[in-house]
Structure 1
């Protein structure tokens, strides 16, 4: 029999007392704990002193009452006096003792006789009861056999009828018959219903405790739901969840609970967890997706792939609609890079199991998100705009299956990158050293300034200002702490630029504070999303390889990029909280009209550290940016850059923190953002070469026939050996040979060279599958989806030498349609008319 808690404690105290050394240590600890918790009167506040005096008064009153009662009892109790008087002879003293003993024996005898009579009476009573029960059992056996046969006949008939029922509704109706009052009051309600209906008994699983404890299981479940490949963080200021007065930013699930449970069991086979316990311990701020969540940012790659899977599942071509199950059926492991990239020998030939089509399914419709240009009328003029629209595509089942196979090649690599980057993010934080700091940064959506009272023209006009918020979370690990400490921050600026110069102007006060408060830190790990217009580009790489060492005197640095479309995190929650708090202050009567008002209104309202930037802070960083930067080929595929030497970066496709980010895993390559003087001389010679107008026009006509590289091969491919060492292998072109120079320029076209103001030739397809070549000027860099914002020119005369920019003719064109980068045209002004001469 198991011991009770009291018996265990008693045994523990006896064991402790038997060991003098341990007993002395326990008493010493108890005394130290007593003195540590004891609070002297001089350390108390006035209120605490009054409360403790009231308790002392009550305790003393009770003590005096107890003493008074004890004294009264002692007063009424007569004192025991020794035997006194005349001496008694030994003979008389012996006779009295014998008489007392005889009297005691006689009284005991009478008591025993009385108990014996009672036992005889009880024995006769139970004997008669047994005899009566024995006779009734013989008589009722015959009756019970009759009733038992009737019960079996009825029970068998009900079982057969229950098995013949097909609908769940009829079975539930039959169960309700047995849930009457008499059965409902019985303790055997469930067993009676199951026995009567012929339902198999449920197997009662023996509860097994987890070897690592209940708290370990709960922590694993919560950390699983917080992963970026399981749930997505929201950035909207209204997307919050409050539970027990705790308000947190909402996260949206990316799969069903059953699918996530299966993934959790595969990843943690050593943990014993049921599905109900898994659901019970889901964090309250993690919610399934809903139609009302309109501000939720979804990944375009995942969404379009899920639309195709749903369409095939609806036509019963696929057995499941779960994307995770579908991918898991085609690979050995979703955590193996060779499997997810199609290089595994074992699963390279695995294909999706499709149901054989009968050929009469007809056309299938499915939805997909695409970018589409539309003509709208604005201020009496027609303007071309590009929108992300959801369209319905139509095709045969065979076409849709082929489309799914092509989509899965990119999707599997996309999912693998998400998992590895998130795993690296957790490794960087969980295994943080004392000399390291992790900064997770991101630009929050610009805040629209508001007034408590606004006129109509201000509300509907363009007078409203915007404030740039660069938010982030800092993780450090002071000495003696087991877990990292978390601090959130936000830098505010009226400049709405998000380029690398602005990024480092926003990071400057944060890094300076790290230097001031944590002088022992020598390594910084940056984490951010990867847009090519902000963090993942050559200008940011230059600042990372120079400013960290020259200006801030750190020894090592890494910058890690999340997968495209999956960069939401804690930094977005900081921005949502600040904007939500600002709206609450405006609703209470405050005016937030600019960046300074936003800063001074919110700087003392929370633990978020806030910093205000000026226009000059950003301009100082911009002036330090050189112009001869070398682009990094394969930038969109790079997810980690790191260095421990100034002016040089190491980069690789995915992040790795097996040696705190500075290992040689995945064969990292070297990149220098600043070119050597040889290339500068070569570039000056090419730029100094001038062509006349007719030769330029001839070049434009010849460019169309030259083959070009696609956007995928240029951006998503790793850099080749020739581009790793371009300085020593490229020879200077002959200036006299114009065609050779054009070929070299076309070979060097790279997305990093596409920026605002660069003139290019664009191939545009018509409705009848005809292709035309137009002159245009880029208004943006290449975004994550491979599109460039282009403003087109139109021809003014038939000679083909005069062009005019059409400001309303702006469209997003794929990078694949860019044929060539051409020199900037000469501007000619005639009266009020401005032409571009080619």
Structure 2
């Protein structure tokens, strides 16, 4: 059976069996066989690779031929279109020549019919026709050149030029002034007021090297307010043209965080009132009337379900957290009169304090605010540095004096924002105002978080410092969420300076506030005291 099976095999199969037996019996033969087979396989792969390259070259050649055909077709079409346009232009010129001939014939016929008229219209001179055909800028340039050479003209030439062409060479040319007019300055000062626009605290929002300010009302309303307060009659388009470019209309998410909870809740209430328009007729009449008076809802007894921001103490934590809470109240509870009255009185007092500082010799007013801590990032960091961050706290502000005004910023590695840290950051500045500037009254403006400014520690230090130096000090607290002002712009500018230090010096290491102070104290006057707290 075995011999019969072997005889049935082909010659190639017998050869393969013979080779396999020989490879099993001889290791040297097996080694040579493998090497020879590897050479054959390498030659096979090289040939296959060369075939693929040849296919690619043939494909690229065919694609280049296709592109050449498309290019030739495009050139042929362009030449055809150009020839078509040239033929049309030639026909139009011929038609124009025919029309000119007809016009000349009509003019000659009209002159022959009017030979009996006594007065004939005088023909204009070519020089006057040339002057009248010039554009206003070209005429202005020609006038300036003639004014530079008028000393060499003959006597009576200037009067003849004025009489014939209407050009007066006797007037001296004054270039347009680059300084803003009084109207422009008045509009800019009005738009930069804190009750008209607010500074954006984001360090990334800047236009023409100015921190962006957000308008607090529509331009039409601000235009009417400007005319009422300044008694200056100016049209709306001129007022809009003189508004600075960095004062823009705010977007919905432009103000960011740290907003007033008392002002956000009425917005939620107003949205809920708009939803009840279809079911409650009195609300529809109220919202359609101008101005809206929520006191008209008193006496109604229906309930309203809505969400409101509230401070809630969470279990396991000693501090409160802001959360949206669903409430069910009567329509009579929609009231915001006391909050708005406080805001009005606070802004009025802050504005008067700034005016007093600019008019009195012995009064100074400053506005201060804590900024969001600056996170120090190195220009070149190892991946593990992401989990270990260093922070720098910034306490910035602005000082108003009679003949001067300046900004300041205190930087510290300590991220504590309590009353002690705030007082430590402004103590050297207060000593400077009292000892060097001889100020007897100091006004301080800030927002009113109880953990930072509005607490017994601040009042105690204020009373102690005023008694020690025998001066008058007053602290004006703004309503929570309404303290955005010039101090936020100063902190944003300082953060930009710190970003530049890291970007321009990638090989340096910045680990604390003094590293930044040494870099930027020569390029800015904002840092009033370079001592690390």
TM-score range, shorter chain: 0.5 to 0.7
1:257 aligns with 2:185: no
Q: Which residue of structure 1 lines up, in the alignment, with residue 389 of structure 2? A: 464
For 1:575 and 1:292, the matched residues in 2 are separated by 20
- Give the count of matched residue pairs: 356
* Equivalent residues of 1:440, 1:473 under 8 A apart: yes
Mark the runs of 5 or more structure 2 residues left unpaired by the alignment. 1-111, 122-179, 278-282
Q: Which residue of structure 1 lines up, in the alignment, with residue 20 of structure 2? A: none
Matches within 5 A, 1:658-737: none
Q: Which residue of structure 2 lines up, in the alignment, with residue 442 of structure 1? A: 369
* Equivalent residues of 2:513, 2:532 under 8 A apart: no
Question: Are the structure 2 counterparts of residues 285 and 277 from structure 1 closer, same or farther at C-alpha, using a change threshold of 3 Å?
Answer: same
For 1:217 and 1:485, the matched residues in 2 are separated by 23
State the SS of the aligned residue for 2:396.
strand
State the SS of the aligned residue for 2:117.
helix
**1:592 Cα deviation from its structure 2 partner:** 2.1
For 1:402 and 1:219, the matched residues in 2 are separated by 46
For 2:317 and 2:401, the matched residues in 1 are separated by 51
Q: Which deviations, in whole Å up to 9, do the C-alpha atoms of 1:310-356 show, x marking residues without a partner?
A: 44346552568799943xx68xxxxxxxxxxxxxxxxxxxx4489x9
**1:501 Cα deviation from its structure 2 partner:** 2.4
Q: Which residue of structure 2 lines up, in the alignment, with residue 416 of structure 1? A: 344
1:308 aligns with 2:269: yes
Question: Are the structure 2 counterparts of residues 562 and 371 from structure 1 closer, same or farther at C-alpha, using a change threshold of 3 Å?
Answer: closer
Matches within 5 A, 1:673-822: none
Question: Are the structure 2 counterparts of residues 472 and 253 from structure 1 closer, same or farther at C-alpha, using a change threshold of 3 Å?
Answer: same
Match of 1:487 among 393, 396, 406: 406
**1:503 Cα deviation from its structure 2 partner:** 2.3
Q: Which residue of structure 1 lines up, in the alignment, with residue 117 of structure 2? A: 126
1:508 aligns with 2:442: no
For 1:467 and 1:539, the matched residues in 2 are separated by 24
Match of 1:234 among 200, 203, 209: 200
For 1:323 and 1:440, the matched residues in 2 are separated by 39
State the SS of the aligned residue for 1:511.
helix
Q: Which residue of structure 1 lines up, in the alignment, with residue 459 of structure 2? A: 541
1:286 aligns with 2:247: yes
Matches within 5 A, 1:583-622: 583-588=499-504, 589=506, 590-614=508-532
Q: Which structure would you say has the larger RCO, counting Cα contacts within 8 Å and 6 or more residues apart?
A: 2
Q: Which moved more, 1:218-227 or 1:533-542?
A: 218-227
For 2:288 and 2:524, the matched residues in 1 are separated by 42
**1:579 Cα deviation from its structure 2 partner:** 0.9
Question: Are the structure 2 counterparts of residues 439 and 414 from structure 1 closer, same or farther at C-alpha, using a change threshold of 3 Å?
Answer: closer
State the SS of the aligned residue for 2:529.
strand
* Equivalent residues of 1:313, 1:319 under 8 A apart: no
For 1:400 and 1:263, the matched residues in 2 are separated by 36
**1:576 Cα deviation from its structure 2 partner:** 0.7
Question: Are the structure 2 counterparts of residues 374 and 507 from structure 1 closer, same or farther at C-alpha, using a change threshold of 3 Å?
Answer: closer
State the SS of the aligned residue for 1:488.
strand
State the superposition RMSD in angstroms.
3.9
For 2:523 and 2:474, the matched residues in 1 are separated by 33
**1:527 Cα deviation from its structure 2 partner:** 2.0
* Equivalent residues of 1:310, 1:321 under 8 A apart: no
Q: Which deviations, in whole Å up to 9, do the C-alpha atoms of 1:783-820 show, x marking residues without a partner?
A: xxxxxxxxxxxxxxxxxxxxxxxxxxxxxxxxxxxxxx
For 2:222 and 2:189, the matched residues in 1 are separated by 13
**1:580 Cα deviation from its structure 2 partner:** 1.5
Q: What TM-score comes out, normalization by structure 2 length?
A: 0.57
Q: Which residue of structure 1 lines up, in the alignment, with residue 497 of structure 2? A: 581
